[in-house]
Amino acid sequence: PKLYFDKAGKSCPENVAYYYRQETDTQMYFKSYFVVNGKLAFQGKIKSAAPSEESKNVYTGKCSWYYKNGNLKQVKTFNDEGLEIGTTRYYYESGKIWKEIEYENGRASQNFMVEYNEDGTRNKIFEEEFTNNQNEWDLFTSDKSSASIEDGQFRIISTSREGTSRYINHPI
């Protein structure tokens, strides 16, 4: 049977659907198609396919999502528990690679990713979640300034006219 979903991935009637999902002859292997043009929107294994909301699906193995024009949008790999593993690749609508992120057990395994401009120029982008001070930011309080990590944010406060700044050296 076909299940219909809106653009946000929530179950909806066929007449307002953005795409539909159906299981193939291979157990747990699904394909989704855009209603407007019939092109592939998704293909891959769904260990637990939620009928009402796509965000509740549990994926396994290699899964691919597509733009309406047929080009790849993203390719992800999941372990048996549905956690992202390996290299996830995102693409521009033109089909060119946009970014690559390494995953381990559902979390980015490094604090940087590789991002590409549409001309193919490659950049390494550093990201910091500010949850566990893994990068050893200098945290302190003095009479002129302070630096702290609170609620996932790095807070720098200056109480003097000179101001303050912080940096870390992160070899890439």
> How many helical (H) and strand (E) elements, i.e. helices and strands, does the chain have?
0, 14
Give which of 39, 21, 38 is closest to 30, Cα–Cα: 21
**Is residue 161 helix, strand or coil?**
coil
- Reported as a single tens digit per residue, the pLDDT across 59-90 is 999 999 999 999 999 999 999 999 999 999 99
Residues 6 or more apart whose CB falls under 8 angstroms from that of 18 comprise 5, 6, 7, 34, 35, 36
Other beta carbons less than 10 A from residue 73's beta carbon: 19
- Round to whole Å and give the CA distance between 107 and 122: 23
pTM: 0.79
Q: What is the pLDDT of residue 108?
A: 87
- Reported as a single tens digit per residue, the pLDDT across 30-39 is 999 999 999 9
Task: Find out whether 84 and 103 touch, Cβ atoms under 8 Å.
Answer: yes
Q: What is the pLDDT of residue 172?
A: 60
Whether the predicted pLDDT of 169 surpasses 90: no
Name the band, by pLDDT with cuts 50, 70 and 90, for residue 170. Answer: low
DSSP state of 110: S
Backbone angles phi, psi at 170, to 5 degrees: -125, 100
